[in-house]
Chains A and B, each alone.
Chain A
């Protein structure tokens, strides 16, 4: 019997009900509290939240391991770039708000193109094929240089206007991308709680049985690929408009891996998990690059002394020499530069060891009903 002892106090219920509005309101205060570099960092975090939410549909909901997610991101970004960059052969000078739906549509078509051939594949095989697909798109962008200008990339992509007002500063971009993330988060959570979401979950749990229960697995797998791709395309359009310059180098396998890592570190299928994952995977490496960080590390003189002591002790005990840490003035900067990926990698390893199901695993949603408040009768056994 499920435990239904004491109901939670009313204020926690209110808090739980308004947790998302409260969180968004808090997020909107951030630009007032932080400097520009931090806000810029948060724009990237929010952008990767959008991408993470999109991949979450494919990997988290439907359980289709997709290592080529960057393809859809690139499709969206190049739609924006090709239609607005002065360097592009098909520059149409279209408005951002017109390109947004076009980019989403093109990305979802690319998603279907990927989805169709991989329909019969599962697990590892699917991962390998999608991996190849992502690379194909990147190489296509490099090699079709008559269209995409190859590795030179497309530059001077204009920034969007909103009600005649240009979205320009980091703070404005922050609000814009956060708004996009909120819309996407709302859509994906609605999808998860619908017949589609249940069909995806059933496919993830057991594809054959899902089919035996009447789920058209072909249709729902394609829908998962297409919706995930559409969100990736949205992220791509926004990215191109924000950065103003795109080239194939920005759409490497690393992006796919980052987004997948966001989903997995956060907890598959979980929206708060994607937010946390993006903060850690996209935020932390950038924070480690900040001047404040190296200043902060430089002030940790005791840490340097302790490490030096350890090294001399090791030197004394073993033949050969291990060298010394850099002098106190530069060691902060060097620590942040040289070792940030070691620190970062170690952090990821620790997270996955301590919390294998992710930082914030998706909570099993409980469908609540009025008569749940009455105590349930004893289970009826057949006579």
Chain B
């Protein structure tokens, strides 16, 4: 894994007349920890959803280390190196901690055959190209049969791949501090550990760009400090670029090298933390027109 560069060029996202994002232009250099802040409803999570392929942006383009990725399906984007966590924790609640991480490694467990449906497709296929994609269907079917046969017969190749995946999952869990919890159900973990598990699961996809959606939400200052340390360690050990959405200003200012501020779907400021803190437009967005006064949690 090498850290990726993210370039967002004039990105727009409209939902039937509601403009959620407009003309977002952004460049995150490889290995940077980049903050994304803004009042509620500013479009931060929408931007994440566009980056990960959950939404298909209505205009603009997204490039991951030079490759255009907007419009690709989520699992393909994950395969290209973007992983994410979720604002409201979304673990596979009824699966064990270990299984959660194993699902993250899905594309890295060799089972034989190539995954035709996961290979790169044209970004916005024309009808003709769509038919060409469908022509890959027989091969996909053959690969499916190979995968099923492998799962049933369990040849040495599949066993080895599984064992390697389990070993790596254990390493990842140890890295985020979840050793010894492998066989617990994900839903039985305490809140902070669930956030850590989400990060381990995201790391299991071998990301070159990691998107963290409010990683310290609901944490007390000590827990948040531990999370900040973890985020820094991930950047260094796993060589990823990290973008995080965050409301706790202490966290944002402490960990991010650069910050982008969104308001009403537009980028209103960008720069290092110190400059953002003094930026009048940002102060106005947070304090001026809306009612977060008298030291609300979003204030620095």
* A10 on interface, CB distance cutoff 8 Å: no
If A211-B73, A383-B229 touch, whether A202 touches B152 (CB-CB below 8 Å) is no
In the bound assembly, the distance between CA atoms of A376 and B173 in angstroms comes to 13
Q: Which residue of A lies closest to B183 (CB)?
A: A366
In the bound assembly, the distance between CA atoms of A191 and B90 in angstroms comes to 25
Decide: B177 and A381 in contact? CB cutoff 8 A: yes
Decide: B233 and A215 in contact? CB cutoff 8 A: no
* B107 on interface, CB distance cutoff 8 Å: yes
Scan B74-110; emit 1 where CB is below 8 A from any A CB, else 0.
Answer: 1100110001101000111111101100111011010
Decide: B98 and A367 in contact? CB cutoff 8 A: yes
Decide: B151 and A213 in contact? CB cutoff 8 A: no
* B24 on interface, CB distance cutoff 8 Å: no
Q: Which of B150, B180, B205 contacts A379, CB < 8 Å?
A: B180
Decide: A195 and B151 in contact? CB cutoff 8 A: yes
Scan B108-129; emit 1 where CB is below 8 A from any A CB, else 0.
Answer: 0101000101100000000000
Distance (whole angstroms) from the CB of A144 to the closest CB of chain B:
27
* B226 on interface, CB distance cutoff 8 Å: yes
Decide: B144 and A219 in contact? CB cutoff 8 A: yes
B133-181 at interface with A (beta carbon < 8 Å): 140, 144, 147-148, 150-152, 154, 158, 162, 166, 174, 176-181
In the bound assembly, the distance between CA atoms of A94 and B221 in angstroms comes to 74
Q: Which residue of A lies closest to B52 (CB)?
A: A212
Q: Which residue of B lies closest to A186 (CB)?
A: B152
Residues of A within 8 Å of B91, CB to CB, are 209
Decide: A216 and B75 in contact? CB cutoff 8 A: yes
Decide: B181 and A379 in contact? CB cutoff 8 A: yes
Chain A facing B: main interface SS: helix
In the bound assembly, the distance between CA atoms of A223 and B86 in angstroms comes to 28
Residues of B within 8 Å of A217, CB to CB, are 75
Decide: A212 and B74 in contact? CB cutoff 8 A: yes
* B44 on interface, CB distance cutoff 8 Å: no
* A162 on interface, CB distance cutoff 8 Å: no
Decide: B75 and A196 in contact? CB cutoff 8 A: no
In the bound assembly, the distance between CA atoms of A1 and B184 in angstroms comes to 9
Decide: B79 and A214 in contact? CB cutoff 8 A: yes
Decide: A379 and B178 in contact? CB cutoff 8 A: yes
Distance (whole angstroms) from the CB of B89 to the closest CB of chain A:
10
Q: Which of A205, A227, A369 contacts B166, CB < 8 Å?
A: A369
Decide: B144 and A223 in contact? CB cutoff 8 A: yes
* A319 on interface, CB distance cutoff 8 Å: no
Distance (whole angstroms) from the CB of A33 to the closest CB of chain B:
33
Decide: B118 and A216 in contact? CB cutoff 8 A: yes
* B255 on interface, CB distance cutoff 8 Å: no
* A300 on interface, CB distance cutoff 8 Å: no
If A190-B154, A199-B106, A213-B106 touch, whether A226 touches B183 (CB-CB below 8 Å) is no
If A212-B78, A219-B117, A219-B140 touch, whether A205 touches B94 (CB-CB below 8 Å) is yes
Q: Which of B86, B95, B103, B148 contacts A191, CB < 8 Å?
A: B148
Q: Which residue of B lies closest to A112 (CB)?
A: B141
If A194-B151, A201-B95 touch, whether A379 touches B140 (CB-CB below 8 Å) is no
In the bound assembly, the distance between CA atoms of A57 and B278 in angstroms comes to 58
* B185 on interface, CB distance cutoff 8 Å: yes
Decide: A213 and B184 in contact? CB cutoff 8 A: no
Decide: B90 and A209 in contact? CB cutoff 8 A: yes
Scan A344-383; emit 1 where CB is below 8 A from any B CB, else 0.
Answer: 0000000000000000000010110100000011111111
Q: Which residue of B lies closest to A192 (CB)?
A: B151
* A208 on interface, CB distance cutoff 8 Å: yes
If A195-B106, A216-B117 touch, whether A209 touches B94 (CB-CB below 8 Å) is no
In the bound assembly, the distance between CA atoms of A215 and B95 in angstroms comes to 16
* B238 on interface, CB distance cutoff 8 Å: no
Decide: A376 and B151 in contact? CB cutoff 8 A: no
Q: Which residue of B lies closest to A217 (CB)?
A: B75
Distance (whole angstroms) from the CB of B16 to the closest CB of chain A:
18
In the bound assembly, the distance between CA atoms of A206 and B90 in angstroms comes to 8
Decide: B95 and A227 in contact? CB cutoff 8 A: no
* B54 on interface, CB distance cutoff 8 Å: yes
5 cross-chain pairs, A with B, having the tightest CB-CB distances, nearest first: A376-B180, A194-B151, A214-B78, A205-B92, A211-B74
| 29 A-B interface contacts by CB (under 8 A) | A2-B180, A2-B181, A190-B154, A194-B111, A194-B162, A196-B151, A197-B151, A198-B95, A201-B92, A201-B95, A202-B92, A202-B95, A205-B92, A206-B92, A209-B86, A210-B92, A211-B75, A212-B54, A212-B75, A214-B75, A214-B107, A215-B75, A216-B73, A216-B117, A219-B117, A219-B144, A369-B166, A379-B180, A383-B229
